[in-house]
Amino acid sequence: MAGFGWFWKAMGSSATANQKKSKTIVSESTKAADRLADAPDTEVVDIARSCIGTGEDRAIVDAPLLLAALREAASRTVGLRPFDVQLQGALRMLVGDVVEMATGEGKTLVGGLTAVGYGLQGKKVHVITVNSFLAGRDEAWMGPLLDFFGLSHGAIREEAGADERRDVYARDVIFTAVNEAGFDVLRDQLITRRADAVRTPADVAVIDEADSVMVDEALVPLVLAGSEPGPAPAGQITDLVRRMEENRHFTVSGDHRSIFLTDEGAAFIEKELGIDSLYGEVGEAGDNADADGDSGEAAPGPLLSQVNVALHAQHLLTRDVHYIVRDGKVALIDNARGRVAELQRWPDGLQAAVEAKEGLKVTDGGRILDQITVQALIGLYPQKCGMTGTAVAASDQLRQFYDLSVSVIEPNVPTKRFDEVDHVFASDEDRDAAVIDHIVEVQGTGQPVLVGTQDIAASERIADALVLRGVDCNVLNAKNHEAEAATIAEAGRPGRVTVSTQMAGRGTDIRLGGSGDAEDAEHARVVDLGGLHVVGVGRFRSQRLDNQLRGRAGRQGDPGSTVFFVSLEDDMVAVGGAGDELTAQPDADGRLEQKKVLQFVDHCQRVTEGQMLDIHATTWKYNKLINDQRQIINARRDAVLDTETAWDDLSLHDVEKAGELTAAGIDHAVLVQAAREIMLYHLDHEWSDHLAYLDDIRESIHLRAIANESPIDEFHRMSIAAFGELAGRAVAKARETFSEAEITAGGVDLGGLGLHKPSATWTYMVNDNPLSSGGGSMMGSIAAMFR
């Protein structure tokens, strides 16, 4: 950041000034407390309301009094009297910041107070959580506080149908998992009657685990797909691919994100299949490819795509790391959380390829109807704020992508956690042996241990080794996630060992001695033993993620300690340190204690963090373009939904048919709706084709590594050209359909013309852990192509 020192200084000093200011406001609020203590409930509510201005912006005009009223209400309803630091946090969130508050500081209550503050200003609030379990839990917990102020509230349940969702969305403050919020946006973008929409847009998003949502998962596409047979690789291709050899028939990029077919590999397939050229076939997207007139190149054929997905499934996706096989089905593991991602699938071909690889029944492929990234979803909220234990390290991204500032809130009680220096080993084997010895030893003292691993395979490996040594442990991973929250809550009991993948059980607090109220004696015992001991197996791809794990220990002034066991073979070290030389002499246990080794690991992590930021920035450029195009389509959709424009156009185009229909006495409203459905069918279908085409060009740019032109520019050029023709084509097809379709008093029969809407839809997240071998194939290849 050379040259920008003044900027960061200015930022730092304004942060300090804000901190001072909010402390002053909170201490002023304490003075108002007496006045409220004896006031009846209704008066507390009235006082709170009086703190909101009557101007159009409904600004908070008396912050100290408002905070006092919130504190009083929380004590009366939730039974928790907010600490000063919690009021400070709520205050900064009401200004629109992301606040950093450590684990166990009571962020749920801070979020509740913030929601009330916005609610009193007449704003609709969405509290966004990382999963539906937390949305439900937090809503039930904060409900009484919201009731107190007469604010209606609800949580979006994963299982909820359209009617229930519509009802919940209409309320003042709702709690929802980020993916549910996104899926509802997508489904609402496909309605053909306004009344079918479930969402009521909100004014404010209050985002929990803000860095996870807005940075780590920002580019995860939420996808809505419809059933339609997709290009599943034939079993034959799966068999061929299994016989192919790395570095001969294909190469894998150093970061394990992308796989490339070599000429020899292509020749092998061509020979085995007895075809002339794998590249010769013109893809299904041929029509669209013409839009890109000047390149004269066809999109890759379906056969080539099949070979590519089969290679990807075979050589980049690993069972128990990227997916598990359960009940004869492939279940994806959500890398960010190390748990099974229910109802999620990979994009059509890849899912089928993995099923073929595992010898399972290949399910239907599908068609991607629409998609949105988490970042674009968050962008839909006019106002946002957030909270997390680790915001500072994400400041750059939060500012760059969301224009949000970070406020650090000091802990209520000073932290006493001890972070030990890393234990680094040359090999995974030495590291694992040392980590097991370490856990066995600590557990022997009775101190509870939480072990954080990078993936499920590692957690099982560690757990198995512990069992062999006679240590009982709880494993938190995709295979038993239902009990996750309950299990993690007990991870602070004496002698307990809990092995967890990344952030499994996030959002659930670990209290020393256990979760119950009657655990005070146990609490004291665990405090004497040194509190919770956190062991990281491998450093994460950013310091922030390391800190998320470390933050599990030492909550609310409790003692606690953390240590990471690193191997030079870890993904993060291998990727971040690629090309660097390191010579060091291990001791008898294989441990490398030299200072330069420790610095090297930090260096690798910084390099990785830099790569992640670059990938985020470039990938966002790509996503933003799709998102902008979607907004244009949405504006058109809105017009079609809310006006008679479709009927106006179609009836004008085929005056004769329109005349006949009217003469037949069909109700005007029926005709308008029929025209609307015809127009929307084609618009949506063209959009879906467009997305498939974009996927193809992305893939072809990636495969062909076009020289002399930057891939993003090339992508822009081709996608804009194709988009330019989309609407015109939709209208032309709609006119054709209008002339051909049978329209009666019962409406239009699109099925009669073979124009079927998908018989079922499902949603999934394409997850991406860019350091492991591309759990999200698309993301992996986008990332690779933009570097």
Return the range that interacts with ligand ADP (CB under 6 A); candidates 43-51, 105-113, 336-344, 752-760.
Answer: 105-113
Nearest distance, CB of residue 519 and ligand ADP, angstroms: 12
Q: CA-CA distance, 481 to 504, in Å (whole number)?
A: 8
Give the count of residues interacting with ligand ADP (CB under 6 A).
14
- Asked whether position 82 contacts ligand ADP by CB under 6 A, the answer is yes
Tell me whether residue 81 or residue 326 sits nearer to ligand ADP (CB atom): 81
Q: CA-CA distance, 513 to 521, in Å (whole number)?
A: 8
Nearest to ligand ADP by Cβ — which residue? 106
Tell me whether residue 83 or residue 169 sits nearer to ligand ADP (CB atom): 83
Cα torsion 141, 142, 147, 151: sign = negative
Beta strands in 130-262 (DSSP E): 153-155, 173-177, 204-208, 221-227, 250-252, 259-261
Nearest distance, CB of residue 173 and ligand ADP, angstroms: 17
Tell me whether residue 82 or residue 365 sits nearer to ligand ADP (CB atom): 82
Taking alpha carbons only, the member of 639, 666, 613 closest to residue 727 is 639
Q: CA-CA distance, 571 to 335, in Å (whole number)?
A: 14
Q: CA-CA distance, 143 to 135, in Å (whole number)?
A: 12
Q: What is the DSSP string of 563-625?
A: EEEEETTSHHHHHHTTT--------TTSEE--HHHHHHHHHHHHHHHHHHHHHHHHHHHHHHH
Nearest distance, CB of residue 104 and ligand ADP, angstroms: 5
Tell me whether residue 89 or residue 230 sits nearer to ligand ADP (CB atom): 89
3-state SS, one letter per residue, for 312-340: HHHHCCCECCCEEEECCEEEEEECCCCEE
Near ligand ADP in 84-103, by CB under 6 A: 86, 101, 103
Which one of residues 9, 20, 31, 81 is an interface residue with ligand ADP (CB under 6 A)?
81
Element holding 35 (H helix, E strand):
helix 5-37
Nearest distance, CB of residue 219 and ligand ADP, angstroms: 25
3-state SS, one letter per residue, for 517-575: CCCHHHHHHHHHHCCEEEEEECCCCCHHHHHHHHCCCCHHHCEEEEEEEEECCCHHHHH
Nearest distance, CB of residue 386 and ligand ADP, angstroms: 12
Nearest distance, CB of residue 31 and ligand ADP, angstroms: 19
Nearest distance, CB of residue 332 and ligand ADP, angstroms: 27
Nearest distance, CB of residue 511 and ligand ADP, angstroms: 7
Q: Is 634 exposed, middle or buried (0-12, 13-18, 19+ CB in 10 A)?
A: middle
Question: What binding mask, one character per residue, do residues 485-524 give for ligand ADP by CB under 6 A, x or -?
Answer: ------------------------x---------------
Tell me whether residue 492 or residue 770 sits nearer to ligand ADP (CB atom): 492
Near ligand ADP in 664-723, by CB under 6 A: none
Q: How many helices (H) and strands (E) does the chain have?
A: 28, 25
Tell me whether residue 107 or residue 431 sits nearer to ligand ADP (CB atom): 107
Return the range that interacts with ligand ADP (CB under 6 A); candidates 11-19, 30-38, 80-88, 492-500.
Answer: 80-88
Tell me whether residue 101 or residue 115 sits nearer to ligand ADP (CB atom): 101
* Torsion angle in degrees (nearest 10) through CA of 408, 411, 417, 422: -10
CA distances from residue 608 to 218, 577, 612, 771 in whole angstroms, order as listed: 17, 9, 6, 9
Tell me whether residue 103 or residue 176 sits nearer to ligand ADP (CB atom): 103
Nearest distance, CB of residue 129 and ligand ADP, angstroms: 10
Nearest distance, CB of residue 64 and ligand ADP, angstroms: 18
Residue 92 structure tokens: 């900064």
Tell me whether residue 104 or residue 349 sits nearer to ligand ADP (CB atom): 104
Nearest distance, CB of residue 208 and ligand ADP, angstroms: 8
Q: CA-CA distance, 476 to 452, in Å (whole number)?
A: 10
Q: CA-CA distance, 533 to 559, in Å (whole number)?
A: 9
Question: What binding mask, one character per residue, do residues 106-145 give for ligand ADP by CB under 6 A, x or -?
Answer: xxxx------------------------------------
Per the DSSP assignment, residues forming a β-bridge with 206 are 127, 385
Tell me whether residue 108 or residue 189 sits nearer to ligand ADP (CB atom): 108
Q: CA-CA distance, 520 to 523, in Å (whole number)?
A: 5
Q: CA-CA distance, 438 to 456, in Å (whole number)?
A: 20
Tell me whether residue 101 or residue 155 sits nearer to ligand ADP (CB atom): 101
Tell me whether residue 301 or residue 389 sits nearer to ligand ADP (CB atom): 389
Tell me whether residue 527 or residue 625 sits nearer to ligand ADP (CB atom): 527
Return the range that interacts with ligand ADP (CB under 6 A); candidates 82-90, 234-242, 716-724, 763-771.
Answer: 82-90
Q: Tell me whether strands 497-501 and 474-476 are parallel, antiparallel or unpaired.
A: parallel
Q: Is 42 exposed, middle or buried (0-12, 13-18, 19+ CB in 10 A)?
A: exposed
Q: CA-CA distance, 202 to 127, in Å (whole number)?
A: 10
Torsions phi, psi for 646 (to 5 deg): -65, -45
Near ligand ADP in 591-650, by CB under 6 A: none
Nearest distance, CB of residue 683 and ligand ADP, angstroms: 43
Tell me whether residue 309 or residue 485 sits nearer to ligand ADP (CB atom): 485
Nearest distance, CB of residue 650 and ligand ADP, angstroms: 54
Nearest distance, CB of residue 78 and ligand ADP, angstroms: 8
Which residues of this protein are in contact with ligand ADP, per CB under 6 A?
Answer: 80-83, 86, 101, 103-109, 509
